[in-house]
C-alpha cells in the first residue's frame, strides 16, 4: 500500500522524542508534534529510565489522540441505529481501557496482584470508545500473563 492510499488527504507531520538525563539521575522525555491539531505543543515527562520516560510521554500523547478521535466522532452514547423493520444495527467499536497507578508492594508480583484484585481497574480506568469500520485491521493490545 502506498502512502497516499493509507493517508488520502495527504496530511503529514512528525512527532519528535527527546530524552535527557537529569542531574538527579532521572530521565526527562519531551515529545513535540507538528500534526496540525497541537502545533509546537510539548509533553514533558520524567521516568526512572529512558524507556520509562518515553513510555510515559507516549502514553500521554496517545491519550490526547484517543480523546480527539472519540470527541470528533460526536456520537450520542445512547443512540441506537435501526433498520427499516426496527431491528438494532450492530456497530463495531474499538474500546480502549487505560489504567495506571503507583503503589507500594513487596514484589513486582504483589504490585500486579494488588492492581488486578477486584474490579478496581475497570471502575477507575479511563475508557475510550471509538466506532470503527468493520474491515479496519485493529489488533487489540492484550497482555499475556504466562
Tens digits of per-residue pLDDT, 2-38?
544 555 666 677 889 999 999 999 999 999 888 765 5
Q: At residue 58, what are phi and psi to the nearest 5 degrees?
A: -70, -35
Task: Read off the pTM.
Answer: 0.76
Q: How far apart are the first and last CA of the chain?
A: 35
Amino acid at each position: 500500500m502506498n502512502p497516499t492510499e493509507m493517508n488520502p488527504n495527504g496530511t503529514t507531520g512528525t512527532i519528535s522524542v527527546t530524552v535527557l538525563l537529569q542531574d538527579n539521575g532521572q530521565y526527562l522525555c519531551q515529545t513535540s508534534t507538528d500534526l496540525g491539531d497541537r502545533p509546537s505543543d510539548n509533553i514533558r515527562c520524567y521516568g526512572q529510565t529512558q524507556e520509562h520516560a518515553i513510555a510515559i510521554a507516549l502514553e500521554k500523547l496517545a491519550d490526547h489522540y484517543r480523546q480527539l478521535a472519540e470527541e470528533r466522532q460526536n456520537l450520542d452514547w445512547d443512540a441506537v441505529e435501526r433498520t427499516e423493520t426496527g431491528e438494532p444495527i450492530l456497530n463495531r467499536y474499538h474500546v480502549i481501557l487505560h489504567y495506571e497507578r503507583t503503589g507500594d508492594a513487596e514484589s513486582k508480583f504483589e504490585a500486579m496482584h494488588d492492581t488486578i484484585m477486584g474490579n478496581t481497574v475497570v471502575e477507575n480506568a479511563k475508557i475510550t470508545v471509538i466506532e470503527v469500520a468493520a474491515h479496519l485491521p485493529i489488533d487489540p493490545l492484550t497482555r499475556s500473563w504466562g
